[in-house]
Amino acid sequence: MSSKTVVVIGHGMVGHRFVQGLRERDVTDQWHIVVLGEEHDAAYDRVGLSSYVGAWDRSSLALAGNDYAGDTHVDLRLGVGAASIDRDAHVVAATDGARVAYDAVVLATGSYPFVPPVDGHDGDRCFVYRTLSDLDAIRTTADRAGAGAVGVVVGGGLLGLEAANALKLMGLTPHVVEFAPRLMPLQVDEGGGALLAGLVTDLGLTVHTGVATTSIAERTDAPDAEALRVTLSDDSHIDAALVVFSAGVRPRDEIAREIGLPVAERGGVLVDSGCRTEDPEIFAIGEVAAIEGRCYGLVAPGYSTAEVVVDQLLGGSTTFSGADMSTKLKLLGVDVASFGDAMAATEGALEVVFSDPVAGTYAKVVVSDDARTLLGGILVGDADAYAMLKPMVGSAIPGDPSDLIAPSGGPAIGLGALPDAAEICSCNAVSKGTICSAIADGACDVPAVKAQTCAGTTCGGCLPSIKKLLAESGVVLSKSLCEHFAQSRSELFEIVSATGIRTFSGLIAQYGTGTGCDICKPTVASILASTSSDHILDGEQAALQDTNDHFLANLQRNGSYSVVPRMPGGEVTADQLIVIGQVAKDFELYTKITGGQRIDMFGARVEQLPEIWRRLVEAGMESGQAYGKSLRTVKSCVGSTWCRYGVQDSVGMAVDLEKRYRGLRSPHKIKFGVSGCARECAEARGKDVGVIATESGWNLYVAGNGGQSPVHAQLLASGLDDATLVAYIDRYLMFYIRTADRLQRTAPWLESLEGGLDHLREVVVEDSLGICEQLEAAMEAHVSGYRDEWSAVLSDSEKLKRFVSFVNAPAEADPTIDFDSSTGRKVPVLLGSPTMPARS
């Protein structure tokens, strides 16, 4: 049992970071942690709040490890806040009546949204933009108002534009009201603000700057779409369905005030550089902490304060040394970045500006009076240079300052010019030197750098820099498929598509060397299968296959095979079940329900496979493709046809999708999930393609997977009708098949894709590369040319000849294959091994 207790009040991103940090570093378990979290959701990514819109899946924003499962040293209490702190008795009184004795308290209460005292601000149609529950409430009113209704956002700062983006995603027409003369007044200057206003206006926002909101009145005789009249200080008005206040935040320091702890002039609990309050046993971290009088409203400095207090509680002396207040975000598709001394507040600072209203870009760098040191900058419309410029703040400029942002393409200045101390990942305070050391120690790709340094694991804004450091590190990763082909898999795919070569021998003769190996042969076989409807056992191609594909079945550990008939969407008829049962009984097969809603039959000998499949095919079943790098399953719930919560026919959609993509060969196996509502019974967000029904259409998620490294799929598009959903999946799958590496699953493929999800969305949804017609045509060719592989084998006497244990004795069975059924379950027995013991 731990000897000391720390009570953490608040379970947001920073509170969670503190708990994680303390548990990782408290190797002697000297601290027991009690966490009081007012929200009913454990810590989630509040920075990515807008991504909740459309998905409406709270688990998608959950921070890793936020439930501390299995950790007896952490007591997480959700839906419970702190009512008071008795500093004399060292007790925290919780809102549920519990009293918790403490040795230390960490205030991680964050901030609350500021709502200006405007007449009518407390009406039923007025909201704030802070929590998942806030978005749920906004959604309810937005749905009632209907698509196209006006939503007013009071506040045109960073959070205000995030809120406007959320309203747009909900189908509303956003109006943004900002008292300052420009949008994002704390991050961009007049020039950048003017361009930003023009860009977001072109995207459907109406911007009102230099005006205040004076009143909000109910219009009882108006429809839901115009239920409010919002009056502005210039006497104009906006008729709207709802109002969202996003006019800044204030520290939640009320509990500190109640117990007499000093607070800063503008709010926030006063703490020293060690994040300790006037009471030496009470600390404050994150947005509520006023460090020597100043509050920091970004997650990166919040994480720094959490690490400081972890060190302090463990006897260290770490202090808060300042914070990087740089920001980079994409608002309604528009890149905006601000870093360092963006407003040229430094005495004598010079500004170099390039503005191109036609191209929709604005770039400014702020430099020292001698033009030798970079102090800060602003980027609007194109923020690609942010990854290189932000780490350079405070460093010498290697050349003319204008070359840093010159649209004419001045001399390139790379990350190599930065000192090792330059911070690349501000969220986790990871320097260039730390990343380069990890690369030198063998971290040769982005996932490895993430794992070793934590860089890129929070907002992801530094990932382009990490990729550049990898490229500039001197570590050369060969793109060669193997020693026989200098080309990558994607390059070979393009060669096969362009040349029409249909044999491995023809491809290696023209573009490779030698005779091939167990890497290139199955890879080329997969490419050939992806680019035609030829049977994989036709001609020369048969010799290229892996063992499983060679016999169209999964090889098991004792040399027997498993048989898996396809059950699209999990559907199966009673007659088919009877046939499966009879086949399993006649051939003495072990049966098991798989995680993909199918029945797996184990223990078939190779010579038995044709007869087993003959009976299954006659019953109307076909190959489940469980042996191939191809579509495996489309898992579904019962959807609206049976479930009282379902809002779409998930079974029907799952069946359609499985029948469309069955037999599609790809770099790795692919799994789908289709859920009929947000309850997500089909676990769609753990699949390569996840489809979730909403009342406004289908939401499409991509690049998730289970397995050794589970990854949540990401929302690609929302509110889709059936035809659009299928078109987007066609494009996504064919783009993946064309560009992925050998045996690369969709999740690491997306992570390695330059531009990530944004680029994928541009390709698949916006057709930025102009290839969508080609991708759809390729998929149509697959669909029209599909034929069940086992049906084709059964009608071909030459193909049937391969299904024997011994070529020179085709009638003999393999005597080494044996089973044990003594436990009541048929299990394989390996040659020379004792019988497998029963499970306890």
Mean pLDDT of 166-192: 92
Question: Is the pLDDT score of 427 beyond 90?
Answer: no
More confident residue, 659 or 329: 659
Distances (CA, A) of 650 to 635, 673, 676, 691: 9, 9, 5, 9
Within 8 A by CB and 6+ apart from 568, the residues are 634, 654, 655, 658, 659, 662
Residue 832: what pLDDT?
Answer: 52
Residue 410: what pLDDT?
Answer: 46
Kind and range of the H or E element at 312? helix 299-313
Distance of CA 46 to the CA centre of its chain: 14
139-143, 275-279, 530-534: range with lowest mean pLDDT = 530-534
What pairing do the DSSP bridges indicate for beta strands 126-128 and 242-245?
parallel
What distance in Å separates the CA atoms of residue 831 and residue 742, rounded to the nearest whole number? Answer: 34
Write the Ramachandran bin of 72: left for phi over 0, alpha for psi from -120 to 50, otherwise beta: alpha
Q: Could you give the angle at the alpha carbon of 274 between the alpha carbons of 271 and 279, nearest 5°? A: 50
Q: What are the pLDDT digits (tens) for 750-762?
A: 988 888 888 999 9
Residue 581: what pLDDT?
Answer: 96
Q: What are the pLDDT digits (tens) for 547-572?
A: 788 889 988 888 889 999 999 998 99
Question: Is the pLDDT score of 524 beyond 80?
Answer: yes
Show the tokens assigned to 189. Answer: 């200057």
Residue 653: what pLDDT?
Answer: 95
**What is the pLDDT of the chain when averaged over all its residues?**
89
Q: How many CA atoms lie less than 13 Å away from 49 in the CB half-sphere?
A: 24
Binding-site annotation, residues for siroheme? 681
Q: What are the pLDDT digits (tens) for 282-301?
A: 999 999 999 988 998 888 89
- In the chain, what percentage of residues exceed pLDDT 70? 94
Distances (CA, A) of 323 to 107, 292, 307, 423, 512: 19, 13, 13, 11, 53
Binding-site annotation, residues for [4Fe-4S] cluster? 637, 643, 677, 681
What distance in Å separates the CA atoms of residue 778 and residue 729, rounded to the nearest whole number? Answer: 12
What distance in Å separates the CA atoms of residue 466 and residue 475, rounded to the nearest whole number? Answer: 13
Grade residue 452 by pLDDT with cuts at 50, 70 and 90.
confident
Grade residue 125 by pLDDT with cuts at 50, 70 and 90.
very high
Q: What is the DSSP string of 16-33?
A: HHHHHHHHHH-TT--EEE
What residue type is 344 in one-letter code?
A: A
Sign of the Cα torsion 446, 451, 455, 456 reads positive
Mean pLDDT of 481-501: 92
Q: What are the pLDDT digits (tens) for 754-787?
A: 888 889 999 999 999 999 999 999 999 999 999 9
Contact status, residue 697 vs residue 728, Cβ threshold 8 Å: no
What distance in Å separates the CA atoms of residue 644 and residue 101, rounded to the nearest whole number? Answer: 46
Mean pLDDT of 650-656: 95
Sign of the Cα torsion 797, 802, 807, 812 reads negative
Question: Is the pLDDT score of 411 beyond 60?
Answer: no
Question: Is the pLDDT score of 92 beyond 90?
Answer: yes
Number of residues assigned to the chain: 840
Distances (CA, A) of 662 to 76, 299, 501, 577, 633: 45, 45, 24, 21, 9
More confident residue, 346 or 474: 346
Contact status, residue 277 vs residue 289, Cβ threshold 8 Å: no
Domains of the chain, earliest start first: 4-111+250-313 (3.50.50.60), 126-247 (3.50.50.60), 489-545 (no CATH), 554-785 (3.30.413.10)
More confident residue, 710 or 750: 750
Residue 387: what pLDDT?
Answer: 77
Show the tokens assigned to 440. Answer: 């030198």
Question: Is the pLDDT score of 838 beyond 50?
Answer: no
Kind and range of the H or E element at 194? helix 190-202
Binding-site annotation, residues? 637, 643, 677, 681
What distance in Å separates the CA atoms of residue 6 and residue 306, rounded to the nearest whole number? Answer: 13
